């Protein structure tokens, strides 16, 4: 199985410092759905791993989060893309849970659900905590400069081997072209 893990806000959709609190605030980033469709066409199973502390902060409830994700899935389907599953952490940092990135609990749950070792699995995020959560489990880290990505790159401290791209579409272009080159030389 070829699995790829994407952060949501700032990678797939526009981010907001005041949180995405409803479906009307959720807007796909240009090219992100087409990029996911291209991953699907290359036999990737696409999953989302996202911190959603707005639930613990009482900015929105589970029904609203589900409605946001329904809009994301519908938008993906309109582009011929499929997001297989969405994993989320509803906690704030003070809750000391294991699932809030940069802790690896959410990604460990993905590994259990798909019965896969995450070593070598590509993980895409716009913040350091996105990259750290996967890196400790052997994921290949990719930073996109959308969302908080530009600030994340400027702060530095990225996990070793992090590759940086302008957006998800550019990351997918690079990934798929490197796989085609590898297949051609094999």
pLDDT value of residue 72? 98
pLDDT value of residue 12? 98
* CA separation for the pair 35, 79 (Å, rounded): 9
**CATH code, domain carrying 108:** 3.40.50.1000
Count up the domains in the chain and report the number: 1
pLDDT tens per residue, the chain (186 residues)?
999 999 999 999 999 999 999 999 999 999 999 999 999 999 999 999 999 999 999 999 999 999 999 999 999 999 999 999 999 999 999 999 999 999 999 999 999 999 999 999 999 999 999 999 999 999 999 999 999 999 999 999 999 999 999 999 999 999 999 887 777 777
* CA separation for the pair 123, 134 (Å, rounded): 6
Are the beta carbons of 159 and 130 closer than 8 angstroms? Answer: no
pLDDT value of residue 17? 92
Task: Give the domain range for residue 55.
Answer: 2-185
Residue of 9, 126, 130, 167 marked active site:
9
Beta bridge partners of 9: 13
CA distances from residue 87 to 5, 6, 46, 65 in whole angstroms, order as listed: 10, 10, 11, 12
As given in the structure block, the two tokens for residue 17 are 């410092």
* CA separation for the pair 176, 7 (Å, rounded): 19
Q: Is 7 annotated in the active site?
A: yes
pLDDT value of residue 179? 82
């Amino acid at each position: 199985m070829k699995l790829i893990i994407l952060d949501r806000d700032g990678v797939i959709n526009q981010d907001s410092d005041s949180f995405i609190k409803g479906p009307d605030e959720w807007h796909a980033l240009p090219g992100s759905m087409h990029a996911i469709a291209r991953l699907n066409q290359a036999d990737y199973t696409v999953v989302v791993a996202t911190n959603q502390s707005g639930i613990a902060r009482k900015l929105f409830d589970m029904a609203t989060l589900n409605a946001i994700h329904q809009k994301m899935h519908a938008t993906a389907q309109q582009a011929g893309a499929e997001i297989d599953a969405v994993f989320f952490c509803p906690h704030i940092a003070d809750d000391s849970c294991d699932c809030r990135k940069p802790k690896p609990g959410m990604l460990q749950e993905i590994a259990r659900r798909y019965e896969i070792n995450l070593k070598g699995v590509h993980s895409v995020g716009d913040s350091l905590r996105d990259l750290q959560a996967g890196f400790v489990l052997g994921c290949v880290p990719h930073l996109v400069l959308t969302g908080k990505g530009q600030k994340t790159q400027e702060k530095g401290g990225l996990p070793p081997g992090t590759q940086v791209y302008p957006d998800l579409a550019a990351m997918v272009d690079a990934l798929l072209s490197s796989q085609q080159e590898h297949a051609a030389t094999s």
